A and B are shown apart, each in its own frame.
Chain A
């Protein structure tokens, strides 16, 4: 009897005591998951067709680039050389550096444009200058120089590569191993290349980030958290504004007692103007971002 009790006690000690020191099983916590569209590449690669956009920057910085510059002046990948025709005569850079940004795929003006200044400017200036002197808004150059410059095949190649990179959102994982293998370059017309796929989170974030840099929030207004301003913008394919930004609640700005709203609306309007032209927008999805409604809401800045 005693032995049995002793044995029972010993067994209890051996198997029971460790239980006291074991920590409880961790409880399964549900993890909240939000489904968003994410691109294969998180930072959208800058579109390779840079040169036409760079002209304005070069023009603003150097209206008079006299000394011959080295080739990689545009400071972006080298596609420019094949697209440049032989150096144009003329085109002196005028002191007024306000180039036409509309000339996205700019056409070089051929010889028939007589200009008195015979300086042979370097290649970078050529691209600048042809944008600068514009008595008429859009010079209609003969098609021949256009095809020399505008290499549809090259553009097709670049665009399609980008298209390939953006996986179908539903079948992302399946496509991945395939993409690296086949990079076809089919010849298609421009219209069918415009994608109707929605913008991915990273592309929207890229746009959002640019505006965040430009917007100076008016703090300190009473009830500042409730001063949200909506602005409609209409964009050209190169990211610049097609027309002045429109404040959705325009009428409210001029009402008496709405001075804080007016100050907030103007700060948002200035942010939009300051941020124009927007950079790194996916040209292939132009239809998706040609018309944007921005809501400037400083609510998050007043937390905590």
Chain B
């Protein structure tokens, strides 16, 4: 065979080999870039108990857990009447087919038991219905009076396991409760669980109280009150009820905010019309000045790592937000939109700053990233103000005033909460009008 013929044969053979390969299958790649925003359907069953008293507590725990998860907007508890398996049977082993049939994707069950010494033993399990396995669970021993906290801890555990975020249900809200006619408002400091339970007044309403702030590390709040017509800052320990005076600060309009380690507070003090930022060490009571500018600098808030401070200043001509290092170096502006920006609060997650914005007669509560980008307005109304973050940095609470008519009737001021995605705007139920909410850190 000639050389050419042999080469041709080789080429032909190679070609034949390529073509002879059977139908191959490669992996098909498909991108899913959209989905729905449906809340996760979850079945929360009554906690099983052997005796009547524990059974009542079990039912109460279930009710509180269900309400917490539903209020977060990320879960949809399934109507208990649709459940097929009974709590006593789930204790042995859940029949996952039954739960899939009612479209549950997760299942919560547990048991409550009163020990001989009166202590409550609560056990809880979280199941993934599709994977058919337990994905979370714990057991708690505590006093029976503490059942609400246990319920909130259970809700936190479910929330954290299924969304990856820390829960915020074991927290409290401190706010200013208002009552009376608009020209003679009676303001009292009040505290309640984040679901509205265990409501308590902390002051009697004889003096004006303003802007409570929570410490991020301790169960302490600062608030502004007037004594002899002078603004005075108090520190109040929630657990012990002890209260002490931080000092008299003439011209102060906002209470100080704590630093993340709880050892310092940052505040704005006005002196002859010029408002500047100061820090005070809580242990030594030493006051240190941060800003030095003829413009009004006010409303400071620490970043969760304590290294930066966001505040509100009109040094650029209009009220805008500025960020600086904790030692007051590198002051730079971050907000550039139209309107006026105020009351900035840095998220405990560190990724966002919430603020109040005023534009064309309307008020907005919004968030933006610490570099000023990604500004999003979450709510709008006649007056929305004073955002405060939940400790997981996911939910914001603010107060909204609805104006009364010309005679001053019909108006109201209430607390509202909203998820940072802009969904799930809900009113927080308070006995009377409310303003200036402050969200506690997670209870220790």
Where the two chains meet, the residues of A that have a C-beta atom closer than 8 Å to any C-beta of B are 98, 194, 196, 199, 204, 207-208, 211-223, 232, 259-264, 266, 269-271, 273-274, 287-301
Contact = CB atoms under 8 A, between A and B. Distances in A.
Nearest to A199: B28
Contact of A291 (B28, B160, B421): B28
Given A222-B351, A263-B162, A213 B25 contact: no
Interface string B12-51: 0000000000010101111111111111100000000000
B23 A196 contact: yes
Nearest to B128: A266
Contact of B38 (A216, A261, A293, A298): A216
Interface string B154-173: 00000010111100000000
A295 B36 contact: no
Given A270-B130, A287-B23, A287-B25, A208 B163 contact: no
A271 B164 contact: no
Nearest to B41: A216
Interface in B188-222: none
A104 to B, nearest CB: 19
Contacts of A273: 130
B33 A298 contact: yes
Interface of A is mostly: helix
Q: Range of interface residues on chain B?
A: 20 to 34
Given A291-B28, A292-B28, A300 B130 contact: no
Contacts of B148: none
A299 B34 CA distance: 8
B281 interface: no
A212 B28 CA distance: 17
B357 interface: no
Contacts of A298: 33-35
A211 B36 CA distance: 10
A293 B31 CA distance: 8
Interface string B379-400: 0000000000000011000000
Interface of B: 23, 25, 27-40, 74, 97, 105, 128, 130-131, 160, 162-165, 349, 351, 393-394, 419-421
A214 B40 CA distance: 11
Contacts of A98: 97
- In this complex, the member of B32, B35, B164, B165 whose beta carbon has the largest number of chain A beta carbons within 10 angstroms is B32
B105 A270 contact: yes
Contacts of A262: 164
Nearest to B38: A216
Contacts of B131: 269
B36 A212 contact: yes
Top-9 shortest CB links A-B: A215-B35, A263-B164, A259-B164, A260-B164, A217-B35, A300-B33, A196-B23, A273-B130, A287-B25
Contact of B28 (A196, A259, A288, A296): A288
A221 B164 contact: yes
Where chain B touches its partner, the secondary structure class is: loop
A217 B36 CA distance: 6
A290 B25 contact: yes
Contact of A216 (B28, B35, B421): B35
A218 B28 contact: no
A194 B23 contact: yes
Nearest to B376: A304
A301 B163 contact: no
A95 B290 CA distance: 76
A211 B97 CA distance: 22
Contact of B35 (A199, A204, A223, A301): A301
Contacts of B160: 259
B30 A216 contact: no
Given A218-B164, A263-B165, 13 more contacts: A199-B28, A204-B30, A208-B30, A211-B35, A216-B35, A219-B37, A220-B163, A220-B165, A232-B27, A262-B164, A274-B105, A287-B23, A287-B25
Contact of A212 (B29, B35, B105, B393): B35
5 contacts: A216-B36, A219-B37, A222-B393, A296-B32, A299-B33
Nearest to B394: A220
Contact of A295 (B30, B97, B130): B30
Contacts of A295: 29-32
A294 B164 contact: no
A194 B38 CA distance: 38
B347 to A, nearest CB: 9
B395 to A, nearest CB: 9
A184 B35 CA distance: 42
A37 to B, nearest CB: 13
Contact of A215 (B23, B36, B97): B36
A140 to B, nearest CB: 28
B163 A274 contact: no
B32 A212 contact: yes
B30 A271 contact: no
Contact of B421 (A220, A260, A263): A220
